[in-house]
């Protein structure tokens, strides 16, 4: 791409190299930082839910201490998942049209229903059945505001006979099983929103939903590790090292599969080298170097793979303290890396022109709806919600009766 012939656009705004269609030469990409947050948050939801279903469906006993935490994490993030989408719309006040007059060939329209299904039919129901016995118990023991909340959440159903509880757990187990494909659907669908755009060779790719699901699992488990470690640290409690080791093991395997499939995608792109590969290659090297090579590959994949790999092999020889730090570092690195991956997908798809003759660059601004300050607020919102949820439903002062493991045996 030579600049020998510089057009007016290039002269006025030197953020372009080569030729981009005039309509693409706006001041910033059409889909900005908010749309990066959207698949990131949705992925964390799906991953955290799959983490929880390891306990309930696959009966991974050591993970019981994080079962409820991961479900609440999924809920807190799911409640915020559509906010970035809403804010970026030109007409947020018309957003309800997506639900009431959906255009059924549009992936974005169907996402509304997938989201609603997941929130209402899966997450709320699973949480409610899991917590019902406790709600009944707490509504008797707790007074004041908490008491009102717990009483409200019993929904008037106070039957805690053995028969009723057995039904609860059976239903909860069924919902969990339904929940796994639903979680895959939720995030696979986000991948499909990008993967279905055939106009964009960076996005239009059948493997995109799979990559999204795998990276979602990785990021979700990493988030649960992070939340669990922070929560026990805040509460000055001892970590359950067995639980942590098992989470680390699942994190490692998920990361191996994710990294393999993403690498396969790249090998395929490079080998087939279809039209436009050269401009994408150039963009990846020049415009996405820090987020792709450093963020996604080095920080997000290679370092955690090394750390977690070492932990798999030498688990018994590494002292607890060092292991904790290695797990924590891996989780944080993976969370950064998956964020970089979302950035690379969303921004990468807009950094080159669909004329395949030019690339653009973009400087993230501080202020404005698409600025990083707004992004930071949106990203901290689920943590604030999670803190409230934990205070309400995972408080230390509350005794929990309905704990998953023992009941599981009865089914």
Partner 1 sequence: MKFDFSRRKMLGVFGGALAGLLSAPAARAAKATVQKVFASSGAPNGYDPYKHKWLMCFDVDKCIGCGLCVDACKKENHVPEAAHYFRTWIERYIIKKPKPGSDRLRGEVLVDSPNGGRDGFPPTSVPREEILKSFFVPKLCNLCEASPCTQVCPVGATFDTPDGAVLVDPNYCIGCGFCIQACPYGCRFLNPETKTAEKCNLCYHRITRGLKPACVEVCPTEARIFGDLKNPVENDPIQTFIAKNKVFSLKPHLGTEPRTLYANLDKEVR
CB of 251 vs partner 1, minimal distance in Å: 33
DSSP SS3 for 201: coil
The reply on whether position 97 binds partner 1 by CB under 8 A is yes
- CB distance 228 to 246 below 8 Å: no
Size of the site for partner 1 (CB under 8 A): 58
Terminal-residue alpha carbon distance, the chain:
65
Output 220 or 276, the one with its CB closest to partner 1.
276
Find the binder of partner 1 among 17, 25, 82, 208 (CB under 8 A): 25
Q: How near is the Cβ of 302 to partner 1 at its closest, in Å? A: 31
Which residue number, 100 or 238, has a Cβ lying nearer to partner 1? 100
**Stretch 198-217 residues interacting with partner 1 (CB under 8 A):** 198-200, 203
Q: State the minimum distance, in angstroms, from the CB of residue 126 to partner 1.
A: 18
Smallest distance, partner 1 to C-beta of residue 293, A = 25
Residues 6+ apart with CB under 8 A from 95: 86, 89
Query: Tokens in use for 21?
Result: 């269609």
The least CB distance from residue 394 to partner 1, in Å, is: 28
Q: Does 30 bind partner 1 (CB under 8 A)?
A: yes
Q: What is the DSSP string of 72-117?
A: HHHHHHHHHTTHHHHHHSS-GGGTTHHHHS--TT-HHHHHHHHHHI
Give, as ranges, the residues between 161 and 200 that touch partner 1 (CB under 8 A).
Answer: 193, 196-200
Instruction: Say whether residue 361 binds partner 1 (CB under 8 A).
Output: no
CB of 103 to partner 1, least distance (A): 4
In the complex with partner 1, the residue whose CB is nearer, 19 or 228, is 19
For partner 1, the closer of residues 220 and 349 by Cβ is 349
The structure tokens listed for 270 are 């490079």
Alpha-carbon dihedral angle through residues 231, 237, 242, 244, given to the nearest 10 degrees: 20
Three-state SS at 358:
strand
Quick one: which of 303, 356, 364, 408 contacts partner 1 (CB under 8 A)? 356
CB of 289 to partner 1, least distance (A): 24
Note whether 272 binds partner 1 by CB under 8 A: no
Nearer to partner 1, 88 or 323 (CB): 88
Q: Which is nearer to partner 1, 89 or 377 (CB)?
A: 89
**Residue 77 CA: distances (Å) to CA of 114, 270, 369, 397:** 15, 35, 20, 25
Nearer to partner 1, 55 or 136 (CB): 136
Interface with partner 1 includes 381 (CB under 8 A)? no
Candidates 15, 170, 324, 354; binder of partner 1 (CB under 8 A) is 354
Where does this chain touch partner 1 (CB under 8 A) — which range of 58-66, 67-75, 351-359, 384-392? Answer: 351-359
Do the Cβ atoms of 95 and 86 come closer than 8 Å? yes
**Of 215-234, which residues contact partner 1 (CB under 8 A)?**
none
Nearer to partner 1, 112 or 382 (CB): 112
In whole angstroms, what is the distance from residue 2 CA to residue 139 CA? 71
Whichever of 31 and 383 has its CB closer to partner 1, that residue is 31
Rg, the chain, Cα only? 23
In this structure, the number of other CB atoms found within 10 A of the CB of residue 69 comes to: 21
CA of 345: how far to CAs of 19, 111, 293, 314, in Å? 21, 19, 13, 35
Report the b/e string of 344-364 with b at 16+ CB within 10 A. Answer: bbbbbbbbbbbeeebbbebee
Query: Exposed, middle or buried: residue 164 (CB in 10 Å: 0-12, 13-18, 19+)?
Result: middle
| CB closer to partner 1, 6 vs 387 | 6
* Residues of this chain that bind partner 1 (CB under 8 A): 2, 4-9, 12, 18-27, 30-31, 85, 88-92, 94-95, 97-98, 100-109, 112, 156-157, 193, 196-200, 203, 275, 349-350, 353-357
């Amino acid at each position: 791409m030579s600049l020998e012939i510089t057009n007016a656009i290039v002269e006025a705004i030197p953020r372009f190299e080569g030729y981009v269609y005039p309509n693409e030469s706006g001041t910033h990409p059409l889909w900005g930082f908010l749309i990066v947050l959207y698949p990131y948050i949705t992925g964390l939801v799906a991953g955290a839910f799959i983490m929880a279903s390891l306990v309930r469906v696959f009966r991974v006993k050591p993970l019981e201490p994080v079962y409820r935490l991961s479900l609440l994490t999924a809920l807190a993030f799911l409640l915020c998942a559509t906010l970035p989408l809403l804010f970026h719309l030109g007409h947020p006040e018309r957003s309800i049209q997506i639900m009431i007059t959906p255009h059924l060939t549009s992936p974005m329209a169907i996402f509304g229903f997938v989201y609603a299904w997941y929130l209402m039919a899966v997450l709320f129901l699973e949480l409610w059945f899991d917590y019902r016995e406790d709600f009944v118990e707490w509504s008797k023991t707790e007074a004041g505001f908490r008491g009102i909340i717990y009483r409200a959440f019993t929904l008037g159903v106070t039957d805690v006979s053995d028969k009723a509880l057995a039904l609860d757990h059976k239903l909860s187990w069924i919902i969990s099983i339904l929940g796994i494909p639903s979680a895959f659907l939720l995030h696979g669908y986000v991948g499909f929103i990008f993967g279905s755009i055939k106009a964009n060779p960076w996005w239009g790719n059948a493997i995109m939903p799979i990559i999204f699901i795998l990276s979602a699992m990785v990021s979700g488990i990493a988030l649960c590790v992070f939340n669990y470690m922070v929560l026990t640290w805040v509460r000055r409690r001892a970590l359950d090292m067995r639980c942590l080791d098992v989470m680390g093991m699942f994190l490692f395997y998920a990361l191996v599969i994710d990294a393999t499939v993403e690498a396969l995608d790249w090998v395929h792109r490079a080998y087939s080298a279809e039209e436009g590969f050269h401009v994408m290659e150039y963009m990846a090297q020049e415009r996405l170097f820090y987020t792709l090579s450093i963020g996604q590959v080095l920080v997000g994949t290679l370092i955690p793979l090394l750390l977690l790999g070492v932990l798999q092999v030498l688990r018994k020889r590494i002292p607890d303290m060092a292991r904790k730090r290695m797990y924590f570092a891996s989780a944080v690195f993976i969370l950064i890396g998956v964020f970089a991956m979302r950035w690379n997908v969303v921004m990468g798809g807009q950094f080159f022109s669909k004329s395949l003759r030019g690339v653009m660059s973009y400087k993230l601004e501080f202020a404005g709806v698409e600025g990083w300050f707004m992004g930071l607020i949106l990203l901290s919102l689920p943590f604030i919600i999670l803190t409230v949820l934990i205070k309400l439903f995972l408080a230390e002062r509350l005794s929990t009766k309905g704990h998953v493991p023992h009941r599981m045996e009865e089914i």
